[in-house]
Each structure stands twice: as C-alpha cells, then as structure tokens.
Structure 1
C-alpha cells in the first residue's frame, strides 16, 4: 500500500521501501505499530543488560538516521535503544495535507506509541521537535520518564525564540524546494555531511515530492510562539509539572546553533532535577547528534553508570 485514508479521514502516503536503499551505515530493521490508522516506524535494538532503555526522539525534518553515530556506543554499553520515526517523517506514514498535522496530535501519537511499547525505567534523549513533544509529556505525566537528556530544544509558551527562528519559519514556507538533506548539512558547524548522509535525510521524501513533505513544511508553523496558539495553555500547565520535577535532567547543548544555542540555560535553571548534573556544552550546531554523536553517547553512558 502506497496511499490510504484513516478512519478519521486523514489521507496519507507511505514512502516505498526502495527509497531507503540509499541509506548507508544504518542497518537496523524497522518495526511498525498502528497509531490511529497510521503506520509508525521505530527501531528497537539491544536487550538492555544494563537495566536501561534509552528512547531517542528526533525532530524536524529528520528521522532516526540522525542517531546513526549514537546508537552503536549506546548498544555497546548494554542499553536497549528505541528510536521512533515521528508520523510524517522517516519510514512512518505521511499525511498529505498540512492541516492533518497539529502539535496536539503529535503529542497524542507519541503517547500512544509509548503505551504500546510499555517502556519502563526510561531515559529519553530529545532534540528539536523531539523535545517539544517529550517535555510536554514529561510535564503532563511525571512518572513517564525516569531521566531526560535535552539537546537544543524547548517547550515554548507563546513567545518567539528570536529572529533566527522567525527567519527559518519564513524560509520553510517560501523556498520552492525543501531539500531536507541540504538543510541538515547547512546547520552543521563542525562536520561536512557526506553525499550519502544528504541522500539518507532526503530518502523519506522521494523526489522532494510535496505530498510527502507536508509535515516537514508545516512543522515550523506549529511551534507555539504566539500567545493565541491553542497549545500555549497546555504547555504552561506542563511547565508547572517540569518546575516540580526532581528526577534527573541532563543538558548536552550545541552552542553553535543560531536557533537555540542561547536557550541553553533555560531548562537547567527551571527544572529542579537539573541541579548538580554533569551538563556539557559543545561547539556544534542544531543537529548535535550528527556532529557530536559519539561524545553525546559517551556522556549518556557515563551518566547512566
């Protein structure tokens, strides 16, 4: 099946498996779960001999391939690693209408995924939209995550993070061709992406076909940076939960990120569980996983010891 419609009327497309033949160095077998009539892809590796399960949450416009350099050292440390592709990205189904994407739906879909997986003693690493979703859930459900690692993300409550983000919003809506591979490459400060990496980030969106790219196009406009955004009250409520959170929170931040580099102190200062943790900053850009993947994995492994 390459196209379909859910019971709630969401029309979607499914990226052909052959599109991922260009992916190199990410030889993990995808698994799938039905979420509201949409197929959500995820990777589940390792047996968790360490007693820890590490959930890796990507953002926009990437997919689990972003963690290709982090997964091997996490597995070597004995952890179970679970990495889902958000609906609209990676190997997951892609609703074709921009109106089918909302912040609240993505929070709901990830909650459904977590319920299905019955994950326990969970450490989550979240970046970009992975954090917008994860931090919201953590604020809503204090016991969902035992530990949180944050990297270049946040939980907005109606204010803009600044001109760089506003420029990205405008670019995302006006650029004639949204080349996701080149977009990731352009944010890297310390690493030049190989052509195979660019191809892998473009693989979910064959020929840059806009019908596959609806999620990637609309995600920047879904961030609640205006006071009238419908998710602002729920995010404010979630912040109250985060402000009372004593469970550990670790910040591993890329200071070369023009979008969110300056936001590094926010979570550390507002979440009690961040106190006295071994936070680290790096010189990398927005997609830290691709510039400092092994170092990030080492920091997580050392922390979990």
Structure 2
C-alpha cells in the first residue's frame, strides 16, 4: 500500500469511526447540537483521593466554554514554587501533557525542578485530568483547545518569560501557542511530539501504530486509558499509578476529549486545521529562541527521530538534543529524573 493510499484509507477510517462514536455515545442525531443535561461534567473529587506521589495543591481557572453561551468550563492546574531555603531562579516552566494523560504525568518531574529553584505550572487540558469535561463532543476541536489554552496561559495566568515543556498533543498545541506568542517564551523543550500539517509523507512504521490508535480509541467502549499509558512505557507501572490515569474518567461520558483528540490529527492538506499549522510553521522556521528536543528511543511514533523539529527551527541548532534509551512514548514515566535534569541543564545554559 502506498503512502497516499494509506492516507486515504485512514481519512475514511477517521470519518467512519467518528460516526461510530456518535452511535456509541447516544447523543442527539442533529450534528453539532449539545446533548441534553449539563454542558460540562466534573469528575468527583474522591476519584483523586490518595493518588501516589501527587501531593500538589489544586488551582482552578474558569474559562469560556466556547459554545456561544455564557457557560464556563473549569481548568485545573498545578502551580508549584520554590520555598525557603531554596532560592528562586526566576524561571517559570509551563508543562503541557498530551493524550490520554494529565498533569499527573509530570509528578516526578516537577519536584526536582522546584528544588532547582524553578516555578512549575502544569495544566490539565480541558476534558482531561481534574479539568471539566464538556458533554458536547463537537466542542473538542483543535481551535477550541487553542482558545482554552490561550485564555488560560496568556489572559488569566499572564505567564511571561516562560520555558515551554510540551509532550504529545501538548506539543501540537503548545508549539502553536509559542508561534502565536513568541515574546512570552524564553525557550522550549519538545518531547515525543510534532507539528504536522497533513502534507508530510509519514513514516509507515510509526504511522501504522498511530492508525491503530485512531481506530482503537473510536471503537472501544469502555476505553482503557491506563492500558494505553502502560502500553507505551518501558517500565512496569504500579496498579495505583494505573488507577490514577483512569481516575479522571468515571464513565464514557467523560471520555469525549480523549476520543476526539485522535481524530483531530491532520491526515490531508484539506484538513480544517492545516492552515493554522502552516501559519505556525512560518513563525517557527524563523524562531531563534533556544529549542531542545528530548525524545524516547522506543517511542512508537517517532522512534526517537526529532529532526522534523530540530532540523527546521533555527533555535534548535547546536543544542544538546537527547534521545533517552529505555524510554517509550511516556518518557516522563520511564525516565523522569533524566527528563528533569535535561530541562534544568537547558535552562541554566541558556539563561539571559
């Protein structure tokens, strides 16, 4: 099968499975209309009681829901800062997770960075983690995620001089945020992520795994989130850790965000998100702010190859890009201390 044939097949699969999801979710037949009942769901707090190695105080922002109403959606975030006797470095690190994870992914990365004097802000994307879950699956578009992220980071938290750390979909969103607000950032660290426009020739091996993911997430009910995380780590995860990844999703109604991410990946140049990706690349290809890639050698999509970022972004030239051995897609689980050390070293070497 040629790459063009594969794309056509997957484009059809995405459309077909989106329809399958609609049937499974028992939403109204009229496309685009919100389902009856609450506009958002909130995972009960007791689901997050006693999570291992996650002692962080919760913080929340109320953002515009984005459905044309006056309704709000609550976004959760972690905001950890150095305390005496640790001397503050004056650096703020924004940590963005991907799919189907949440800020829990960074639980072993944040403490050493705070101990090094850095402020760490880790968001839960809307529909994930402790953030609210809109019940209208059609709200989960690439642009709406960008609107939520921009409102949180730029308008509400007003973060400046930021070190962006982004993984998976956190990179697909975060790199566009970087392109749209480059003056807000000092440097960026990309981990097992990319910014594809739908025009690229995709590696067959990694894309085959991604195609499996597309079909799996749309057709499986219930969706085993912890099983996905466990399947893309090289380390064996404790049952309590697996439970923490399942905690945000008591039932399938809470999983629209997870499911929809999979069908937002641009497959062809005609994808509705392609112009935004291309506009972001126009900026990124001229950006000389320090840019570092930290990838996992065993990542099922990239295989540790980061040249699509490091080879195109000027600020990546000459940086000590790292491919961690023994690390799969969720490298924060496999090599958290190495990840934290790479971020801290990068910050110290590129201080103004």
Say if 2:131 is the partner of 1:92: yes
CA distance in 1, matches of 2:263, 2:138: 11
CA distance in 2, matches of 1:14, 1:57: 20
Structure 1 counterpart of 2:214, from 169, 173, 176: 169
Q: TM-score, normalised by structure 2?
A: 0.81
| C-alpha contact (below 8 Å) 2:176/2:280 kept by paired residues | yes
| Number of residue equivalences | 295
What is residue 14 of structure 1 aligned with on the other side? 42
CA distance in 2, matches of 1:144, 1:137: 10
CA distance in 2, matches of 1:123, 1:245: 14
What is residue 203 of structure 1 aligned with on the other side? 247
- Aligned-pair CA distance for 1:261: 2.2
- Aligned-pair CA distance for 1:159: 4.1
Larger displacement relative to structure 2 (74-83 or 43-52):
43-52
Alignment of 1:204-283 (within 5 A): 204-206=248-250, 209-261=251-303, 263-283=305-325
**Unaligned residue ranges in structure 1 (runs of 5+):** 1-7
What's the C-alpha RMSD, in Å, of the aligned pairs?
A: 1.5
- Aligned-pair CA distance for 1:22: 4.4
Measured against aligned partners, the alpha-carbon deviations of 1:158-211 in whole angstroms (never above 9, x if no partner) come to 14742221121111111232111111001112x1110011000000001xx110
SS of residue in 1 equivalent to 2:108: coil
Alignment of 1:62-73 (within 5 A): 62-73=101-112
Alignment of 1:138-149 (within 5 A): 138-149=178-189
Alignment of 1:114-129 (within 5 A): 114-115=153-154, 116-129=156-169
SS of residue in 2 equivalent to 1:239: helix
CA distance in 1, matches of 2:177, 2:160: 15
| C-alpha contact (below 8 Å) 2:81/2:120 kept by paired residues | yes
What is residue 46 of structure 1 aligned with on the other side? 81
- Aligned-pair CA distance for 1:118: 1.2
Measured against aligned partners, the alpha-carbon deviations of 1:215-254 in whole angstroms (never above 9, x if no partner) come to 1111110112222211101110110100000000001001
What is residue 53 of structure 2 aligned with on the other side? 25
CA distance in 2, matches of 1:234, 1:143: 19
CA distance in 2, matches of 1:175, 1:242: 37
What is residue 16 of structure 2 aligned with on the other side? none
Say if 2:194 is the partner of 1:150: no
- Rg: which structure is higher? 2
CA distance in 1, matches of 2:300, 2:117: 35
**Unaligned residue ranges in structure 2 (runs of 5+):** 1-32, 65-71
Say if 2:115 is the partner of 1:79: no
